[in-house]
Amino acid sequence: MEQVSSWRAHGGTQGVYTHPSISTGTPMTFSVFVPDHAPGARLPVLWYLSGLTCTHANVTEKGEYRAACAARGIVFVAPDTSPRGDEVPDDEGYDFGKGAGFYVDATEAPWAANFRMRSYIESELPALVGAHFPVDLARQGITGHSMGGHGALTIALRNPGRFRSVSAFAPIVSPLSCPWGEKALGGYLGSDRAAWAQYDACALIADGARLPDLLVDQGEADTFLDGQLKTHLLAEACAAAGQPATIRMQPGYDHSYYFISTFMADHVGWHAERLSA
């Protein structure tokens, strides 16, 4: 692992790091904010998964999480969304290929060789962060935006007991039911829709997967709400299954980081309450 950059901010250290990934077969970049802490202390960690077209840099530069994380003593980790490099296959569309890894392990050629973001996020990156940063992996939370909200929900649902807290900003709640998801899952996993269900939060909840609690914020002025995000499907799935969830529709807010940064401190505080013990 190599350090790309480091800054002091809000009583902590914001760093960006790169390393060769076994999962993707490419270099991967991620950012970590570590609040000041007592020597030897291990801090809870909040993972943030970004959305379509994004890298680690979007939330690192626009997310406005550092003051809240410093005040609460939470390490904030933001990985990239997909493998990068000249040899990595890509697509002309913004919603597939580089920048659109969808947090799956692809099974179809030519994507299967590099697009293994599920393994990277679920296994490789936590092991790396646990070895090099002062985190307590017994106290993990996860959140994300849009495609990253989909990733946060499905990763948490597939790994019961790992995350004490789960939230999302404008998540894609059912890739089985929207054009973004149908293109991505069909391309990465093939035509058998039964194989897609492990990457669909609503399907996982209907099949019995559960979270300890859930917080979702969704802007009512989000132009993707009706056609792609379909937040009502998550609300219906949670209600039908008895899954505790607070799903807040926010009037006037869109899909941008103006929306995310407005509610970021609230999410950090919500996670902190569940990660403190």
**Rounded to 10 degrees, what is the CA torsion of 119, 120, 123, 124?**
140
Q: What angle do CA 245, 57, 269 make, to 5 degrees?
A: 35
pLDDT in tens, 251-265: 999 999 999 999 999
Q: 3-class SS at 201?
A: helix
Is the distance from CB of 222 to CB of 169 less than 8 angstroms?
no
Which pLDDT does position 123 carry in this prediction? Answer: 98
Residue 104 CA neighbour count, 13 Å, CB half: 30
Q: What's the whole-model pTM score? A: 0.98
pLDDT in tens, 146-181: 999 999 999 999 999 999 999 999 999 999 999 999
Say which amino acid occupies 276: S
Answer whether residue 44 shows pLDDT above 80.
yes
Which pLDDT does position 125 carry in this prediction? Answer: 98
Which pLDDT does position 225 carry in this prediction? Answer: 98
Helix boundaries (H) for 73-136:
117-119, 125-132
| Domains parsed from the chain with CATH numbers | 2-276 (3.40.50.1820)
CA distance 184 to 150: 12
pLDDT in tens, 71-119: 999 999 999 999 999 999 999 999 999 999 999 999 999 999 999 999 9
pLDDT band of residue 22 (cuts 50, 70, 90) is very high
pLDDT band of residue 26 (cuts 50, 70, 90) is very high
Place of tokens 């890509």: 90
Strands (E), the chain: 2-9, 12-20, 27-35, 43-49, 75-79, 135-144, 163-169, 215-219, 246-250
Answer whether residue 11 shows pLDDT above 90.
yes
Tokens coding 158: 């597939």
pLDDT band of residue 9 (cuts 50, 70, 90) is very high
pLDDT band of residue 199 (cuts 50, 70, 90) is very high
In the residue annotation, 200 being an active-site residue is answered as no
Answer whether residue 277 shows pLDDT above 80.
no
Q: Which of 229, 220, 215, 216 is nearest to 253 (CA)?
A: 220
Which pLDDT does position 190 carry in this prediction? Answer: 98
> Is it true that the peptide bond before 110 is cis, omega within 30 degrees of 0?
yes
Instruction: Please say whether the dihedral angle defined by the alpha carbons of residues 69, 70, 74 and 78, taken in this order, is positive or negative.
Output: positive
**Rounded to 10 degrees, what is the CA torsion of 78, 81, 84, 87?**
150
In the residue annotation, 222 being an active-site residue is answered as yes
Which one of the listed residues 56, 145, 150, 255 is annotated catalytic? 255
Which one of the listed residues 80, 105, 217, 222 is annotated catalytic? 222
Mean pLDDT of 240-255: 98
Q: Which of 90, 159, 70 is nearest to 123 (CA)?
A: 159
Which pLDDT does position 234 carry in this prediction? Answer: 98
Mean pLDDT of 47-74: 98
Which pLDDT does position 104 carry in this prediction? Answer: 98
pLDDT in tens, 208-239: 999 999 999 999 999 999 999 999 999 999 99
pLDDT band of residue 12 (cuts 50, 70, 90) is very high
CA distance 152 to 144: 6
Which one of the listed residues 23, 50, 82, 146 is annotated catalytic? 146
Beta pairing, strands 246-250 & 215-219: parallel
In the residue annotation, 146 being an active-site residue is answered as yes
Place of tokens 């480091």: 6
Mean pLDDT of 186-195: 97
